[in-house]
Structure 1
């Protein structure tokens, strides 16, 4: 008899080590418990991500003309001159017309709605991702950390079976798996850990977070705080406790989330979700808390979902028969019908090859996704430099320096004044040309996107973004006063945060002086 092949010997050795009864079998079982993801968690993640896409579109819609058309602050000429890392990535940049942007918004909304209900989940999710990247690339000046995390998280999730449960796809298939484990699901589990751990490391490079002072500084920033956040600065002891609690969650995320299992993991995930949702009534950070929540949902384990299902009526948890879905959704998926027809014609081998190829491709992409998350996420704070970092992370960013290393100890508001032909100075926008400190700086912005855009204008006052804003302000003032406008002046007022409860005098910066008549 000939000796077994090297591959056969390797398999036999692996079986002895890792198989049932092997010395490493307990470690393998423990790893599998921590890497398996409940498919109901993936379904909830899909529903939340799709809802975020819809809410994001609805939130952007009132500013669609201002931020995405040639008649707004960021016309195509400005788009082409700035943020060159996004060059050629925007379908929205094919036209500066309002009707074209509105059409793409409606199309994105339809794809997002299909993603929520889980109809052809991976296909519509990919289309949603393409349109999301296109929208972000059209005007990166209005993006915040939540947008970047959404753009990074969404494609990772598309490599997992998001439509396995609670979806039109699941009803049409008539079957589902209880839990899944793959390189792709591991990448999805790793992504929030990279965000939290990297941010904890970057915060440690500052002086305030680990001293318990950072949240008191952050909540003295009047342009960021809203609702309850406006009152928290009066409770420094509470903010110190919350500060240490937040740092503990960030620095201990691997231990709290990854190394736990069962009910303990679910409880830890709910603590994180509660902390994220606490941002909603306190800070003007847009959709960021909801994207963070979506990122942590895969850590909710079967005991949690079993309790949820028991609490819901049977009518909600029992899917309708496929025939009840209507003629468009009813019946088996078309790809399954085509596969059965090919098998009847004797082409079953081709069908089997196609399925194996698709499964292998997803596996390979999942491995690449996991390596990408770890390589670039860890590389951002490690001493080594990952290869091609700028190119690789242009879309899928892995830099999470949010409020790090220290929160800013000042805040700003902007005043745009117009000089009319008669020499009078009036407010080009807003109520008055006064330089007095507003009672609430956050209310000087229509949304967090306007705050982000004005920050970009402040950093580019002599560049294309500043000129685009000034020309738009000239048109707005001319329309408002129905007479020629001679010039526009943009001021930035910088107020040191009243950390000790007292206000210093704000500083006035003249950012732009633009001659409207010269164009």
Structure 2
């Protein structure tokens, strides 16, 4: 336990002292989300990561690549190669979940996650940045010290409270997520009118049944808008109060759990709310963990908790990321100093990156000049927390994949070849297989992403003609029925916008795309 009379330094570091059991739960939750993310992405191995999909490697390198990025997933354009990497990532995430060779599993999982996200940035969202940072900071946290396979046969730690530069980085990172989210919401609908959630729930591409229930009540939406804005702006300060730390943390965890539960029930945001849930479990104070340990039997003897024997990983000494023998006192001190300095400098870099992102007034070249940004792109500590910022997107609508057969019949490929119908679907979100496709379709709209459109057209035509039961097409148009969100529950007339046209000759080969 912490010293009853800790002095000034002890008081100052209180907000950054974490329980080793909470870090173990953070490890498990992060690994579980990585596994779920892989499972959701797997059906689209070819569509999102193969050369026969919507983003061939050549197009990635030409339009969506930085010279400082790396991606093992871009080394092959075959879905079979991607499948091997997915299986490897799943195995490593499983090892991380168990706490088996934790440090090595953390580093390798982070490398593969960065590689995967770099392979297709057109389907990324804010939650991906947070998941990536949880793994990054986890490399420097002892989240395999307890409640892990690595802890078998080792004496229990003398203390469960733990402090380091990495715990500071973890707490500050969580605060930055919400502070920057709030500061980037500079539009009047967040700060003055209170109409942000009205417009968010007006987006049929995002609206879930929970949001549909709240949508008819403008005053409630106005109250919730200001509540969300000021919660994001003010709640993180509670993480830095050095008095009554456990109660402030319980407040933060409880409020954020409810906040993200509400988001998950009302808006179609994929894994966003689950990633945020995972991110806060490391804040759980000892009082909550003691209660949890009693309920789940975490204090049972190790032989009862771990009845299965797993093989040891034998690696050349140059590749070892884990100690195989007790270090000397000198080596311990040197390693600790190097780690703390690196984490501290990286945290400072991350803070400046975020400050540059939200700054209203910037010096010429920004607070973080371009020559210094290579570190952020290489290690993927770059981040942007602009969820519904600075204002909520107003251009709503739905897609119609309008295909014309060789016999002149017009079909909608988005509805498995049913006759084209321009009326709004009962649930627009049902048109997307998952949130990755929804995010892709959102990016597809932007004029600066017009280069994406021919690749999508060609992909749609190819998979359509692979099914012999489908009628051959001679023309395909990607049509967006644009419906601008209006204030006061007014309904705009949808307008038909053709984003891409593909013409085929009789041999069903794409020859003209515009």
Instruction: Give your verdict on TM over 0.5.
Output: yes
Q: What is the rounded CA distance, in whole Å, between the counterparts of 2:335 and 2:7 in structure 1? A: 32
The answer to whether the aligner puts 1:147 opposite 2:128 as a matched pair is yes
Query: Is the contact between residue 172 and residue 322 of structure 1 (CA under 8 Å) also seen in structure 2?
Result: no
Match of 2:461 among 442, 453, 474: 474
Partner of 1:103: 84
Q: What is the rounded CA distance, in whole Å, between the counterparts of 1:110 and 1:488 in structure 2? A: 41
The answer to whether the aligner puts 1:234 opposite 2:216 as a matched pair is yes
Query: Is the contact between residue 163 and residue 169 of structure 1 (CA under 8 Å) also seen in structure 2?
Result: yes
The answer to whether the aligner puts 1:297 opposite 2:281 as a matched pair is yes
What SS does structure 2 have at the residue aligned with 1:317? Answer: coil
Aligned 1:46-61 pairs, distance under 5 A: 46-61=27-42
Gaps of 5+ in 2: none
The answer to whether the aligner puts 1:375 opposite 2:352 as a matched pair is yes
Partner of 1:285: 269
Partner of 1:251: 233
Aligned 1:64-463 pairs, distance under 5 A: 64-85=45-66, 89-176=70-157, 177-203=159-185, 205-211=186-192, 212-259=194-241, 261-310=245-294, 312-314=295-297, 316-321=298-303, 325-328=307-310, 338-339=324-325, 351-382=328-359, 383-384=361-362, 385-388=367-370, 390-394=373-377, 395-430=380-415, 431-459=418-446, 463=450
What SS does structure 2 have at the residue aligned with 1:166? Answer: coil
Q: Deviations over 1:433-489 (max 9, x none)?
A: 222112222122121111111222222688542121111122133335645422221
Q: Count how many residue pairs are aligned between Structure 1 and Structure 2.
A: 485
TM superposition score normalised by structure 1: 0.86
Query: Is the contact between residue 171 and residue 322 of structure 1 (CA under 8 Å) also seen in structure 2?
Result: no
Query: Is the contact between residue 222 and residue 230 of structure 1 (CA under 8 Å) also seen in structure 2?
Result: no
Query: Is the contact between residue 45 and residue 294 of structure 1 (CA under 8 Å) also seen in structure 2?
Result: yes
Query: Is the contact between residue 350 and residue 382 of structure 2 (CA under 8 Å) also seen in structure 1?
Result: no
Q: 1:476 to 1:313 in 2, by over 3 A?
A: closer
Q: 1:26 to 1:354 in 2, by over 3 A?
A: closer
Partner of 2:475: 487
Gaps of 5+ in 1: 1-18, 341-349
Query: Is the contact between residue 414 and residue 431 of structure 2 (CA under 8 Å) also seen in structure 1?
Result: no
Q: Deviations over 1:349-399 (max 9, x none)?
A: x85554444323322222123212222122222334123364343322232
Q: What is the rounded CA distance, in whole Å, between the counterparts of 2:86 and 2:387 in structure 1? A: 29
Aligned 1:10-25 pairs, distance under 5 A: none
For the aligned residues, what is the CA RMSD?
2.8
Q: Deviations over 1:196-244 (max 9, x none)?
A: 11121121x2101123221122112111111312221012232222222
Q: What is the rounded CA distance, in whole Å, between the counterparts of 2:76 and 2:461 in structure 1? A: 23
Aligned 1:30-41 pairs, distance under 5 A: 30-41=11-22
Q: 1:479 to 1:307 in 2, by over 3 A?
A: same
Q: What is the rounded CA distance, in whole Å, between the counterparts of 2:69 and 2:251 in structure 1? A: 44
Q: What is the rounded CA distance, in whole Å, between the counterparts of 1:33 and 1:387 in structure 2? A: 34
How much has 1:75 moved relative to structure 2? 2.2
Q: What is the rounded CA distance, in whole Å, between the counterparts of 2:323 and 2:474 in structure 1? A: 69
How much has 1:72 moved relative to structure 2? 2.0
Partner of 1:503: 491
Larger of the two Rg values belongs to structure: 1
Query: Is the contact between residue 73 and residue 119 of structure 2 (CA under 8 Å) also seen in structure 1?
Result: yes
Q: What is the rounded CA distance, in whole Å, between the counterparts of 1:427 and 1:99 in structure 2? A: 30
| More off after superposition, 438-447 vs 39-48 | 438-447
